[in-house]
């Protein structure tokens, strides 16, 4: 049976560590990898009419940028190591979306990097890791 591992990345060093960790695990067994980049977005914000008009375009650009700058380089480097992985870009609240993707792909584990915020910053912005731990129904690994 194949085991699926979902890795959340955001272009940071910690995300890179998460990928490296997942790869070391994947090499040991028969594991397929799903890499996800989540664009922070909420359906409950207040926008100007111009922003709404341009939104469809912006979304396309955001997805393109995420693929080109973050996802594709990682996928390429994995490919060169002979590891196949699937890349996903989605909008939403990071933890919620990661859980949705995990469910959709039947993942058995979620791996994310630790975000180096401390104190007030993590209070203000919350912590993806903490939220995942609270809500996930599968094991969550946080890589420092």
Partner 1 sequence: MKYIAISILLTVFVLCPPAAAFAQDAGGGIDQKIGEIFGTVFGPFVSFIFYSVTINGVSFPLIVAWLILCALILTVYMGFVQFTGIRHSIDLLRGVYSNPEDAGEVSHFQALATALSGTVGLGNIAGVAVAVSLGGPGATFWMIVAGLAGMASKFTECTLGVKYREEFPDGHVSGGPMYYLSKGLAEKGKPGLGKLLAVLFAIMCIFGSFGGGNMFQGNQAHQMIANTFGIFTDTGWLFGLILAVIVGAVIIGGIKSIAKVTEKIVPLMAILYVGTALVILIANFTKIPTAFGLVVQGAFAPEAIGGGIVGVLIQGLKRAAFSNEAGIGSAAIAHSAVRTNEPLTEGYVALLEPFIDTVVICTMTALVIVITGAYADAGGMTGVALTSAAFQSVFPWFGVVLAVAVLLFAFSTMISWSYYGLKCWTYLFGESRISELTFKLIFCVFVVIGCSMSLGPVIDFSDAAIFAMSLGNVLGLYLLMGTVKKDLKDYQARIKSGEIQRYK
Binding site for partner 1 (CB under 8 A): 39, 41, 43-50, 52-57, 59-60, 62-63, 90-92, 97, 100
CB atoms within 10 A of CB 70: 19
Choice between 49 and 82, CB closer to partner 1: 49
Q: How far is the CB of 47 from partner 1 (least distance, A)?
A: 5
- The secondary structure of residue 11, as a DSSP letter, is S
Q: What is the nearest approach in angstroms of partner 1 to the Cβ of residue 45?
A: 6
Based on the number of CB atoms within 10 Å of its own CB, is 102 exposed (0-12), middle (13-18) or buried (19 or more)?
Answer: buried
Nearer to partner 1, 24 or 45 (CB): 45
CB of 70 to partner 1, least distance (A): 16
Tokens representing 143 are 């890589």
What counts of helices (H) and strands (E) characterise the chain?
6, 5
Question: Nearer to partner 1 by C-beta: 27 or 125?
Answer: 125
Q: Find tokens 């959709």 and name the residue.
A: 104
């Amino acid at each position: 049976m194949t085991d699926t591992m979902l890795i959340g990345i955001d272009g940071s060093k910690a995300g890179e560590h998460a990928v490296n960790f997942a790869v070391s695990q994947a090499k040991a067994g028969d594991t397929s990898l799903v890499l996800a980049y989540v664009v922070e977005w909420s359906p409950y914000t207040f926008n100007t009419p111009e922003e709404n008009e341009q939104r469809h375009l912006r979304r396309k650009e955001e997805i393109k940028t995420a693929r080109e700058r973050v996802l594709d380089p990682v996928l390429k480097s994995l490919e060169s190591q002979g590891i196949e992985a699937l890349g996903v870009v989605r909008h939403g609240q990071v933890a919620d979306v990661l859980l949705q993707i995990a469910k959709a792909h039947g993942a058995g584990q979620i791996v994310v990097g630790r975000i180096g915020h401390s104190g007030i910053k993590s209070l203000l912005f919350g912590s993806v890791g903490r939220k995942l731990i609270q809500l996930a129904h599968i094991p969550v690994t946080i890589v420092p």
